[in-house]
Amino acid sequence: MKTSIIRCLGAILFSLLFYGQSLGLNMLLFAIITVVAVLIIRSETKFNKSFLLAAGLYLLSAVFVFTVNSLLAITTCILAFIVFAGSISGIKNAVYIQWLNGLYQSLLGALHSMMNPNKDIPKGKSNHNYKFIILTIAVVTTLVVVFATLYGKANPILGEWIAAINLDFVNFNWILTAAMGYYLILNLTSKAELDIITSIDRDASTTLSEQPISDIKATSLHREQLLGTILLGALNALIVLFIITDIWYVLHDPLEDAATLSTTVHDGVSALVTSIIIAITTILILFRGELNFYKKSETLRHFTYVWIALNIVIILLTAYKNYMYSSGFGLTYKRIGVFIYLTLCISGMVTTYVKIARKHNLLFMLKSNTRAAFILLIIISSFNWDRAITTYNLHEVGTPDISYLLSMRSSNGDILYAFAKAHPEKPMNRTSIQHRYEQWQSSLSRETWQSKTLLGLLHPNTSTYEITDTRTRY
């Protein structure tokens, strides 16, 4: 009975938070409600470290919806919710398996639980008669409404009586939203998982096992490690030459030639990522099995470690060139994307080192890098990039690109407006800035307590602004 009350209460709160509302504080409140409901109804989850981690990341992503309220933050919160749902029943699964389990749990959790009842509950002691009552009421009500509508069309008198019934006081859309909330919470608090793929992923080993090496196999491994040693030795020499010339280029003020620097950064990132993928694939082929345990492969192993270290140096040099380009000509989403790509490249380098040093397999790299990418996604969603880019470009760049800043969402309206007022001598599209400021004010004034954001809390009096006088001030 307690479980049913929690689910019904959660459904009512779901409709109260989301019916007719935009996203903001309601996402955070619903995340808290969901996590608490699961912890109470599925009490075994409190001992599941995977679940607690996923719940923490989900709550954190919901906080960013409130504080940042960007499309990225909202999308990340939805993905984190799916991972959270997948971790309820899944234990120690990879992120991609938790995504699949999360979708299954969110959409079909209750159906799975009904089709696979808990065999530990003795027959005759189940206290779920309320489910039969609710089902009966729903079926009877639905069929009565359907047939009454049909009979009303066939009988004019009955049709007039039915038409005279006034149900305007009932908000059916609100009830439908509550029903959706109940169904969602019912699915989350039911036991469900994709048994086959979950078990396969959970039981799969990420560590290579040593096998006896025959004389014939030893000869083949010797040739492989010799080939790998020569190959990585040549690649290391080439990378050293590249690093030396790249440092020389960086030291000679590349900002003087913006076009060359731009090409170097963007094309260089593409070439760098491609080369890293090819080289990692080569290493995975070399260290795919017995060569990990071949005692005479130490030279190859050391060359591989040097190659990884040199690639990290190249990544850092590319990041520095991107920083120089951004500091001289301003931040853009593409330049921020370059930093993100480079961070993922470093993650790939680190996991490659761990894979070789600890003799892991390809599954380890897949799990580790997807987990790292997911955590990075949550981290970058903590920033309001529109406002961050606008603030940086206006205050750190000599000639900021106002047109680019105006192409963003209206969340930077107050920043552009303040900059235009403070610099009346600078040429800029002041009419567009004024319009952007009005959009920003209007969006904040429409926020209700459910959709309230941190920006709305920091500017509580935005609904009483004056725009007629400000147009002549700058």
Residue 409 corresponds to which tokens in the numbers above?
Answer: 């969402």
Determine what percent of the chain is predicted with pLDDT higher than 90: 24
> What is the rounded CA–CA span in Å between residue 385 and residue 333?
8
Cβ contacts of 255 within 8 Å, gap of 6 or more: 261, 324, 325, 328
pLDDT higher than threshold 90 for residue 386: yes
pLDDT of 22-67, one tens digit each? 899 999 999 999 999 989 888 888 888 888 999 999 999 999 999 9
Among residues 459, 428, 430, 432, the alpha carbon closest in space to that of 446 is found at 459
Cα angle 391-396-402, degrees, rounded to a multiple of 5: 60
Residue 195: what pLDDT?
61
What percentage of the chain exceeds 70 in pLDDT?
A: 80
Find the mean pLDDT for residues 365-382.
Answer: 93
Q: How confident is the model at residue 259 (pLDDT cuts 50, 70, 90)?
A: low
* Most confidently modeled range among 88-97, 306-315, 357-366: 306-315
More confident residue, 380 or 409: 380
**Where is pLDDT greater, at 205 or 5?**
5
Distances (CA, A) of 184 to 5, 51, 436: 15, 18, 38
Q: How does residue 474 score in pLDDT terms, banded at 50, 70 and 90?
A: very low
User: What is the tens place of the pLDDT at every residue in 145-157?
Assistant: 788 778 777 777 7
Residues 113 and 110: their CA atoms lie apart, in Å, by 5
Lowest mean pLDDT segment, chosen from 80-89, 111-120, 261-270, 384-393:
111-120
Please spell the DSSP secondary structure of 201-229, one letter per residue.
Answer: HHH---B-------HHHHHHHHHHHHHHH
pLDDT band at 217 (very low <50, low <70, confident <90, very high): low
d(CA 402, CA 390): 9
Task: Report the greatest alpha carbon distance in the chain.
Answer: 97
The residue with greater pLDDT, 264 or 428, is: 428
Domain assignments of the chain as residue spans, ordered by start? 1-206, 215-360, 385-472
Q: Is the distance from CB of 66 to CB of 25 less than 8 angstroms? A: yes
Is the pTM here over 0.85, yes or no? no
- DSSP 3-state of 324: helix
pLDDT (tens digit per residue) in 305-339? 999 999 999 899 889 888 888 888 889 998 999 89
pLDDT at 34: 92
Closest CA to 51 of 80, 13, 25: 80
Among 1-5, 314-318, 442-446, 470-474, the least confident range: 470-474
For the ranges 86-90, 207-211, 346-350, which has the lowest average pLDDT?
207-211
When pLDDT is cut at 50, 70 and 90, the band that residue 464 belongs to is: very low
What's the mean per-residue pLDDT of the chain? 81
Rounded distance, CA 404 to CA 33, Å?
Answer: 40
pLDDT number for residue 63: 96
